[in-house]
Chains A and B, each alone.
Chain A
Amino acid sequence: MTPKRKKRLTIILGLVFGTALIVGLVMFSLSENINLFYSTSQIANGEAPVGTRIRAGGMVVDGSVKRSTDSLKVQFALTDYEQQVTVEFTGILPDLFREGQGIIAQGKMDANGIFQADEVLAKHDENYMPPEIAESMKKKQEAQK
């Protein structure tokens, strides 16, 4: 490479790493705002703002889902395995909503400490498998218990 080309290459590398550094610092300082949701511990510990619309994320606690018999109202507990938050929602839940599933609820905390959700989104993980394998894995786990 000629010295001229080397110089141009250095300038370009400087440009790329310079922008990466600047953007990295901005992202680092904004990281709290980039998070899509608050964990249930953050809400229970009062780290999440009260009275404004926030998103709460966590796992639906096994056996906590209570459906109303005469309306679309559901109540369930959300956990991050440290703290729990009770959520109330009226409406149609996504297909993937089930006990033990990760979900994200958008809404407000009310005066009784219950999270009033107006939108519930289901999160799914990065593991995919055919139903037969999932079935046999479940059986194996139960046999070990």
Chain B
Amino acid sequence: MKIKMPRWFYQLASPRWFYEFTGALLPWFSAAAILLLVIGTVWGLVFAPADYQQGNSFRIIYIHVPSSILAQSCYMMMAVAGAVGLVWKMKIAHVVAGACAPIGASIAIMSLATGAIWGKPTWGAWWVWDARLTAMLVLLFLYIGVIALNSAFENKASADKATAILSLVGLVNIPIIKYSVEWWNTLHQPATFTVTEKPAMPPEMWVPLLVMALGFYCFFAVVLMSRARTEVLEREKRSDWVKRVIQSY
């Protein structure tokens, strides 16, 4: 069987093409991120109705859920980018994977912190060692492990390879986070949103949540591209096109 990868896939592998392409995307994603986050925050915190049981403390969902989803998506992106880097020996993929780790770690901290703040008034505890919370903490530790391992090598190529393997091994944690609330008894409630069923909340509650989630993804794209672009310039600093880019500033 012969699998042919599309043309853009190989184009992305060129550092210069990547730099120019992301440079063109960056302003659009920045504008979308600001717009969506402002609309979502105001909508969620001011206009969305309060919950019948939890009252206004439920509004932290508008930060907690998007950050939890993003922390996991970011990990998947890091692992897939690492795999592409290993299979095709593509440096850009490793650059992207390396850029994911610190962003993912910060977002995971945000998810855990907002979860704790939400847990105290509703459950009565900041932290409980249930399966969902513990698996999420493991995700944070995986991110920290990836960052530490990446900076432990002098040689960039070995660092890329080692971190890609670690992030692929840690990928097993993602389904565990997702299904922890179904496989075991947990204090954390099951998912409100599923692919197959209607959301367990009315539209005036979930539409702002969707806006926030999209805003988080756009914000992630902006930070990811900015970090990856800086890293590309750093790695390619001896090439002529980078020298021209630097001179033009």
Complex formed: what's the CA distance from A101 to B87 in Å? Answer: 52
A12 near B190 (CB under 8 angstroms)?
no
**Does A49 sit within 8 A of B, measured CB to CB?**
no
**Does A107 sit within 8 A of B, measured CB to CB?**
no
Interface hits, B141-188 → A, CB 8 Å: 165, 168-169, 171-172, 175-176, 183-187
A94 near B123 (CB under 8 angstroms)?
yes
Could you say which of B52, B168, B185, B187 contacts A15, with CB atoms under 8 Å apart? B168
Partner-contacting stretch, out of B29-37, B200-208, B237-245: B200-208
Scan B48-91; emit 1 where CB is below 8 A from any A CB, else 0: 01111110001001000000000000000000000100111000
Partner-contacting stretch, out of B19-27, B98-106, B125-133, B219-227: B125-133
A121 near B176 (CB under 8 angstroms)?
no
**Does B122 sit within 8 A of A, measured CB to CB?**
yes
**Does A95 sit within 8 A of B, measured CB to CB?**
yes
**Does B191 sit within 8 A of A, measured CB to CB?**
yes
**Does B192 sit within 8 A of A, measured CB to CB?**
yes
B123 near A123 (CB under 8 angstroms)?
yes
Could you say which of A27, A35, A123, A135 contacts B176, with CB atoms under 8 Å apart? A27
Interface hits, A115-141 → B, CB 8 Å: 119-135
Could you say which of B51, B88, B128, B171 contacts A16, with CB atoms under 8 Å apart? B171
Interface hits, A51-93 → B, CB 8 Å: 57, 93
Chain B hits for A97, CB < 8 A: 124
Chain A hits for B176, CB < 8 A: 23, 27
Given contacts A15-B169, A19-B172, A96-B122, contact A130 B51 (CB under 8 A): yes
B184 near A35 (CB under 8 angstroms)?
yes
**Does B246 sit within 8 A of A, measured CB to CB?**
no
Chain A hits for B58, CB < 8 A: 128
Chain A hits for B184, CB < 8 A: 31, 34-36
Complex formed: what's the CA distance from A29 to B50 in Å? Answer: 42
Given contacts A128-B200, A130-B52, contact A15 B122 (CB under 8 A): no
Could you say which of B87, B128, B165, B202 contacts A130, with CB atoms under 8 Å apart? B202
Residue ID in chain B nearest A28 by CB atoms:
B183
**Does A39 sit within 8 A of B, measured CB to CB?**
yes
B172 near A126 (CB under 8 angstroms)?
no
A130 near B205 (CB under 8 angstroms)?
yes
Given contacts A128-B201, A130-B205, contact A121 B54 (CB under 8 A): no
**Does B196 sit within 8 A of A, measured CB to CB?**
no
B165 near A15 (CB under 8 angstroms)?
yes
Complex formed: what's the CA distance from A3 to B17 in Å? Answer: 27
Complex formed: what's the CA distance from A88 to B223 in Å? Answer: 51
B171 near A104 (CB under 8 angstroms)?
no
Could you say which of B87, B124, B129 contacts A120, with CB atoms under 8 Å apart? B124
Complex formed: what's the CA distance from A80 to B6 in Å? Answer: 55
A35 near B185 (CB under 8 angstroms)?
yes
User: Closest approach, in angstroms, between the C-beta of A49 and any C-beta of chain B?
Assistant: 16
Given contacts A5-B88, A16-B171, A19-B172, contact A131 B50 (CB under 8 A): yes
**Does B189 sit within 8 A of A, measured CB to CB?**
yes
B87, B165, B168, B171 interface centre (most CB from chain A within 10 Å): B87
26 contacts between A and B (CB under 8 A): A1-B5, A8-B86, A8-B87, A9-B87, A19-B171, A23-B176, A27-B183, A34-B184, A35-B184, A36-B131, A36-B185, A37-B185, A94-B121, A94-B124, A122-B122, A124-B53, A126-B190, A126-B200, A128-B52, A128-B54, A128-B201, A129-B51, A129-B201, A130-B52, A131-B52, A133-B202
Chain A residues with CB under 8 Å of chain B are 1, 5, 8-9, 12, 15-16, 19-20, 23, 27, 31, 34-37, 39, 57, 93-97, 104, 119-135
